Amino acid sequence: MKKVFITGATDGLGFMAAEKLIEKGHQVILHARNNAKGEIVLQKLPNAKAVVIGDLSSISQTYEIAEAVNQLGTMDSVIHNAGVGFQEPYQETEDALPYVFAINSLAPYILTCLINKPKRLIYTSSGMHQQGDAELKDLFWKVKKWNAAQAYSDTKLQNILLAFAISKRWPDVFCNVVSPGWVATKMGGPHAPDDLEKATETQVWLSSSEEKEAKISGNFLYHKRPKSYLLAANDIQLQNRFMDYCESLTNIKLPNG
């Protein structure tokens, strides 16, 4: 039995992964943005171990999420699933950060640094990362004209940079990043072409399986298989720049491996 924490577990792929892991007998800690959503998801998944409440767009609330998770003990696996999509209008958080960046990119960094180190980490990217800005220019969108699809693509590349950096810095953790495909969730829309049933199989497998093939690190996976990705993500200097940037925004440093 594994103890698994999943961000963004109230609907979509996070909910589906939670449901499958609970069915397999694992202890699942859910995350919800607010109390109302937390109550609803517990009604739907009454066998979940707990639900942790907090808005990932807020640095202070993300701190609180990490603290609440740690109070429940050390996780075997953390699935960083929460994210917002590629049609978001420009808006800033209470910390004066772009909303998409705060949730998709910065929150996984903060939680990784603050949650007790698990045995397995799974991050969520997208095929759209291929269009991401590999030079990490103007992450606050203060100069460029807002482009929601480009901003989303940037964050999905940043998820890969984070996962690859962690896999090097924490060699004792199985750390990977997943593309679930373009599927018919609230984010993906009703006409998305990929297989919804397969969209969470890799996250569930990586977080819970004892198969040798699941105990891997530093991979970008789609449907449990390696998938091609933007080669710039292999650049260690670029990975370190992203990590340093997140540290400068939060004053939180990744613990040594």
Tell me which H or E stretch contains 123. Answer: strand 120-124
Catalytic residues: 152, 156
On whether the CB atoms of residues 128 and 74 are closer than 8 A, the answer is: no
Quickly tell me which residue has 């069915």 as its tokens: 23
Cα-Cα-Cα-Cα dihedral sign, residues 7, 62, 115, 172: positive
Quickly tell me which residue has 């495909």 as its tokens: 181
Looking at the chain, the number of H-run helices and the number of E-run strands are 8, 8
Q: Backbone phi, then psi, for 28, in 5-degree steps?
A: -115, 125
Measured from the Cβ of residue 134, the count of other Cβ atoms closer than 10 Å reads 16
Tell me which H or E stretch contains 54. Answer: none
The CA-to-CA distance between both ends of the chain, in Å, stands at 25
- Sheet with 27-32, side-by-side order of all strands: 50-53, 27-32, 3-6, 77-80, 120-124, 174-178, 219-222, 225-226
Nearest to 85 by CA among 197, 186, 183, 162: 186
